[in-house]
Structure 1
């Protein structure tokens, strides 16, 4: 059991700076609870990864698919941009960075071939970059940058040359859930996507997953995480209601909200929980032997709901 471990040697190898403010904020009383909190935080972050990755993928493919249908494979070179607007060059700069990355990777792969141990010995030119390779090499920021005013027409006569606003409701099928005014909605989406992109970067760099400025205790810390889950759902729904429906059917949102909760945290702090009574064991054993033995999850249907039980420790 967790209480049988001597934790100081374990905690000494974790980040002391990150742990220093946690006990008071989350009401942790012992080294066991500190370590349990660290494990919970990793599980909480892991539960958010599928949502963040779906958001990035769906947004990218929705914009690219719509723009490609209007302007061709290399649409980023064919659409108009108002270079006088703020941040006008960021999107194309990111495309060029993706292209340079692909060429650099190709040269590195070529240099690793037998007899070529030096990049300087690579004489041939890389093959033409495909549309799909370039898009796959872009980062999240690219798809925020394409939403700025520089890529939007100011007049009806110019709309055929610019990506926005003609393609806006093709990319964001439920744009109205953000705002009824398309221009206002697009600008709001920039702010929402920027907020979620920065949060995504924190997750991927193993930073604090709650918002410190909104946090006074465990409940407000966890509420700030759940606010981000709600924002991801909101933006995903604006792009693709079908994706949100699928994620809900697969329990991805519910899983994130379950793990990012005070109830789940209490499990990792090893707080007390009900014991199965002896007379109840035959019923449990019928379904839960794999889970009890610790080698597999036990899946059971409760009415029309799929439930999973597994041995935690």
Structure 2
């Protein structure tokens, strides 16, 4: 999107919100701040799609692993689903997510929600809590189902060690924080500090971001965590996502050229002029140097060329 009235756009999103872009990215004009706002929107859109696949894969793998160990995945075993059988281990707060869904359905003639319904409705926090509460005695049976391609499966007894297990699943808490900021429409480039909670007292692993280079580094860190998790859970889907349009666009947005296209304030917008394929070929070097998307059209069709 290209806001046609910068003053109106600032009025809608609020000046303090755009001021955070001005100060962080050291830009002077409203147009530049808006362009970086658009950059954040584009990144949010790509990450939202990728993380939706991450969440679905994780919750289904956990449900599958727990079901195979404690009961059948689609039926009640001795009157209970797997989360009921380990209710005391999961704790009251975690079970509240399940019980709230059941209460909404506790009306006459309405069927009790199935396992699949509950799985699809509980919050993402439920699954991170389940991972953290898996009994060490059952870890060698459950974790290899959740993460079938994890390197710890070379010796599944490694899953029994509390510190090793905690480090192996620590990615989920960092991704969850990022996901929550995305869900609340917060500026994704504003990263908080990362604490190492595996030791007492906890120490700081990474400080909060303070400039755009820090932000790029932290975005790439999130992508690296995402890649590791998806690769461990499902290799085929991981490779599909790696080659997806969302990932390719995200790679471009997080490159120096991608960011600079937005920092200039206007070059992220497609040029109004339309070029033929021959003109694109002749002017290719200049278009790359200009770092701005251009429209291409001929008798066959039309499209947009975006410089990488």
Query: TM-score normalised to the size of structure 2?
Result: 0.72
State which of 70, 95, 112 in structure 2 corresponds to 1:128.
112
2:212 corresponds to = 218
- Secondary structure of 1:21's match? helix
- Assess, with a 3 A threshold, how the Cα gap between structure 1 residues 203 and 81 changes in structure 2: closer, same or farther: same
Output aligned runs, 1:47-196, within 5 Å. 47-70=46-69, 71-72=71-72, 73-74=75-76, 75-77=81-83, 79-80=85-86, 83=89, 88-101=91-104, 103=105, 124-149=108-133, 151-154=134-137, 159=138, 164-176=139-151, 181-182=158-159, 183=161, 184-196=163-175
Backbone CA RMSD of aligned residues? 3.7
2:288 corresponds to = none
Once residues 138 and 66 of structure 1 are traced to their aligned partners in structure 2, the CA distance between those partners, rounded to angstroms, is 17
State which of 257, 265, 271 in structure 2 corresponds to 1:263.
257
1:7 corresponds to = 6
Once residues 234 and 119 of structure 2 are traced to their aligned partners in structure 1, the CA distance between those partners, rounded to angstroms, is 19
Cα displacement (A) at 1:27: 2.3
1:250 corresponds to = 244
Q: Does 1:281 align with 2:279?
A: yes
Q: Deviations over 1:64-99 (max 9, x none)?
A: 12322331234325644664xxx6344433222232
2:287 corresponds to = none
Contact 1:36–1:270 (CA<8 Å) still a contact in 2?
yes
Q: Deviations over 1:220-243 (max 9, x none)?
A: 222222221221111222222222
Once residues 169 and 88 of structure 2 are traced to their aligned partners in structure 1, the CA distance between those partners, rounded to angstroms, is 18
State which of 206, 225, 235 in structure 1 corresponds to 2:185.
206
Q: Deviations over 1:6-41 (max 9, x none)?
A: 522331221322222321321212121111111111
* Gap regions ≥5 residues in structure 1: 108-123, 299-307
Cα displacement (A) at 1:262: 3.2
Q: Rg bigger for which structure?
A: 1
Once residues 302 and 185 of structure 2 are traced to their aligned partners in structure 1, the CA distance between those partners, rounded to angstroms, is 28
- Assess, with a 3 A threshold, how the Cα gap between structure 1 residues 48 and 136 changes in structure 2: closer, same or farther: same
- Secondary structure of 1:132's match? helix
Once residues 222 and 48 of structure 1 are traced to their aligned partners in structure 2, the CA distance between those partners, rounded to angstroms, is 14
Count of residue correspondences: 265
Contact 1:47–1:259 (CA<8 Å) still a contact in 2?
no
Query: TM-score normalised to the size of structure 1?
Result: 0.71
- Secondary structure of 2:131's match? coil
Contact 1:172–1:239 (CA<8 Å) still a contact in 2?
yes
Once residues 277 and 258 of structure 2 are traced to their aligned partners in structure 1, the CA distance between those partners, rounded to angstroms, is 27
Once residues 247 and 277 of structure 1 are traced to their aligned partners in structure 2, the CA distance between those partners, rounded to angstroms, is 32
Cα displacement (A) at 1:215: 2.3
